[in-house]
Copies of this chain bind each other. A is one copy, B any other.
Amino acid sequence: MKQYVFQFDENRATPETIILLGNKGAHLAEMTSIGLPVPPGFTISTEACVKYYDAGKKWPMHLKEQVRSAIGETETRTGKRFGDSANPLLVSVRSGSYVSMPGMMDTVLNLGLNDEVVKGFAKRTGNERGAYDSYRRFIQMFGDVVQKIDIARFEHELERIKETKGVEYDTDLDADDFKSLVRTYQRIVREETGKDFPADPQLQLELAISAVFESWNTPRAVSYRRINALRDDAGTGVNVQAMVFGNMGEDCGTGVSFTRNPSTGVKEHYGEYLMNAQGEDVVAGIRTPKPIDTLKEVMPGVYEELLKVYDLLERHYKDMQDFEFTIERGRLYLLQTRNGKRTAHAAVRIAVDMAREGLIDEKTAVMRVKPEDLDQLLHKQLDPVAKEEALDGGRLLAKGLPASPGAAVGEVVFSAERAHLLAQEKRRVILVRTETSPEDIEGMHAAQGILTSRGGMTSHAAVVARGMGTCCVAGCGDIAVDERRGVLVARRKGGEKVTVKAGDFITLDGSTGEVIRGKIPTVDPELSGDFGTLMGWADSHRRLKVRTNADTPHDAEVARGFGAEGIGLCRTEHMFFEGERIKAVREMILAGSVDERKKALGKLLPYQREDFEGIFTAMDGLPVTIRLLDPPLHEFLPQEEKDIAELAREMDVPVETLRRKIGELQETNPMLGHRGCRLAITYPEVCEMQTRAIMEAACAQHEAGVTVHPEIMIPLVGHVNEIKVLKEIVTKVADLVIGETGIKVAYRIGTMIEVPRGAITADKVAEEAEFFSFGTNDLTQMTYGFSRDDVGKFVPEYVEKKILPVDPFQVLDQEGVGELVRIAVEKGRRTRKDLKIGICGEHGGEPASVGFCHGAGLDYVSCSPFRVPIARLAAAQAALKEKEEEKGKRR
């Protein structure tokens, strides 16, 4: 006889039983089998469901008798009887397929009640109201799921009785109300079905099982499977389980518990419970639950049992568990257990502790922490209690994009100059702008946090702030910034407007995007010993190197502190904006002749050299990749009439000349315009000056005992001839400097791969380039044809409509952009076997993208300093996953 029905203790959770019993059934089996006190019950296999359909919606042979016998077994194990009004067995009947399809299929609870049984149930629980409430719920659920009666009919009656009594909530109804409601419901069933509500529990059960079978093919279930590409022929299992009640008296109760503290990670018993209550009561917060430890005195036996459960759960699941329990007449039951949610802090501690305890190995510990979560550990956070109070107090002004994590408190300023000024007086400021521009760099550096009303997650403000590790809330459309008047106006939910003036204090939460009025205390980041231990383990497993994107000695030092193994991208243009330099840059741009241009560049040379000296020192012994000037020149000139006039005065040129020059530099699509290596080809003097600054700095630092590894990176190469021409210039100047100083410093010349053509013709480009660095920001822009500055108009809609699974500027698009990366790696290495390849776009610090880079065979990723630990962990996880998969294949 084919077995369709399995007691929970007959199986374990394996890939095979998950197919046979469904996911829920298999896990109930697992819990039961390892000795956890799970209420008894059984699972009808998915096979039975498939047979049911095959046979034109008929039960397969022998199923009915197997169910009957299984119910008998459940009666034996619970000591209760189905349909027995003295000590009734009530059961739940739940669906469950091989993959969880939450809410898509049907469930019936409290099955086994009828007019007789309910009386016994009321007596035994001492809770007549509760018993009849359960009964009317059962009829309603059964009527809906099994008998397909419009649920509105039942709800309408419930509303009516409340109206009649003049009350608002269900809780205001008493036992008699529910008794009356039961009668009404039974009448509805009669009217709708032409028959009495079935009183026979056995019949109830069989009808409910059929109904669960049928729910496999409800339109919403079918469409869910289509969307998620699930098998249509798998069928659902049916789980029939004894109901337990924590509200049957003072020897009953219910609670939730964690095997370790989910907030701190400390190994202690954490949780709370309520006596004589049901699960909902704990959540509803009507009574205050008690801490789990106090159960020791109240029910020492149950407490002893609970201790064993903690131990059993962790030994078995090898992770911190979050479980629900019910105590029915002094007996402990577990209804569910799952891996517990935890803070980043706790995640690290638990992983390290469990490895030390020998529960898991180091590799598993490394896999246990989500790389993204490390962000929380590396930045200041708002004190959670104080923040909650502030929000409860209505101090939330608006919510923007969580553009750069951390927390910041300070007085509002509306200009970069003012931010810089106040910061020098040691005042803490928040820089508030419509959007930021490269000219604001100094002010952004000086600010505790940055708030903009426009721009997305990859706007200037967001990118720069993440690079600096400064908290930033961007694109906060609910505030209007009036920089001239020095006020911001927040439109709060409901339309109320709140005005904040310069000098007022606000608080930013860069991890959530919240903007809050006034000050909130912050908590400093604490890179505990456990963090260091875990990162050490991670480092021992990863293959990818992790470098950082840093433009200043300070950023380089911070990143090195976070474990950066070199600089993957040093943008030289950011250096051009500070103080006196911007003047020389503008002179260079406005130069009427090559000689004038060279003169202006001569002024910039010492600044650049100094920057590079500091960076080489900070990265002593590690490689430093410096990118030559990249942005279009118009970015260095003012656009506002007022500023143009001022600059004209300053530079002593006619306003008209300046305006014309600025006009000439305007471009229709600056992203695809005169920038990157194209600038260096038109103005080789700039490339010469930068090379000289790099090499003079390298030689000087080498002489001073620093180990330098300069790598000169030529941006935006699409054709090998571009790098060929520029490599000649760079080599000429570099060798000249080496000749002049007599100090032999080795250097490499490479390119960014950020133009699709560069990737497609990587075999040619590699004839000249000694290294590649994927600039995936621009590569994504050009591969998609998406301007990062303009996608705000449609990419959010694309993601919402699921046209794109995710914003490709956040997570590397492995199918499209990634294919270009794979092509470039393959073609590049075909030409030059030892080609060094990295990535320096924003994706270099995004865990999924780091995983992709590992798989694509890159040598390193480079990301902003504060994302270095995230990338290290993600790289380790990618390496471990790969090993695991290889093992899997070998098996």
Contacts and interface: CB of A to CB of B under 8 A. Distances in A.
A184 interface: no
- Residue of A725, A755, A783 with most chain B CB atoms under a 10 A cut-off: A783
A798 interface: yes
Interface residues of A, number: 49
Interface string A659-696: 00000000111111110001001100000000000000
A785 B785 contact: no
Contact of A789 (B669, B797, B820): B669
Interface stretch (A268-276, A555-563, A604-612, A811-819): A811-819
A206 B671 CA distance: 64
Interface string A635-677: 0000000000000000000000000000000011111111000
Contacts of A798: 681
B725 A803 contact: yes
A820 B756 contact: yes
Contacts of A781: 672
A284 to B, nearest CB: 43
Contacts of A674: 790, 793-794
Interface in A806-850: 813, 815-817, 819-820
Interface in A707-738: 716, 718-719, 721-722, 725
A783 B760 CA distance: 9
B668 A761 contact: no
Contacts of A669: 669-672, 787, 789-790
A808 to B, nearest CB: 9
B785 A757 contact: yes
A63 interface: no
A782 interface: yes
A786 interface: yes
A725 to B, nearest CB: 6
A801 interface: yes
Contacts of A786: 672, 718
Contact of A668 (B721, B755, B789): B789
Given A782-B782, A782-B785, A816 B673 contact: no
B785 A681 contact: no
Contact of A719 (B756, B778, B803): B803
Nearest to A726: B803
A827 to B, nearest CB: 10
Contacts of A672: 669, 671-672, 781-782, 785-787, 790
Contacts of A755: 783-785
Contacts of A816: 718-719, 756-757, 760-761
29 contacts: A667-B787, A667-B790, A667-B793, A668-B790, A669-B669, A669-B672, A669-B790, A670-B790, A671-B785, A672-B781, A672-B787, A673-B787, A674-B790, A681-B797, A681-B798, A681-B801, A718-B783, A718-B784, A719-B804, A721-B803, A722-B803, A725-B803, A755-B785, A756-B816, A756-B820, A757-B813, A761-B819, A764-B815, A782-B785
Given A673-B787, A725-B801, A757-B817, 9 more contacts: A667-B789, A668-B787, A671-B672, A672-B785, A681-B798, A716-B785, A718-B816, A722-B803, A756-B782
Interface of A: 667-674, 678, 681-682, 716, 718-719, 721-722, 725, 754-757, 760-761, 764, 778, 781-787, 789-791, 793-794, 797-798, 801-804, 813, 815-817, 819-820
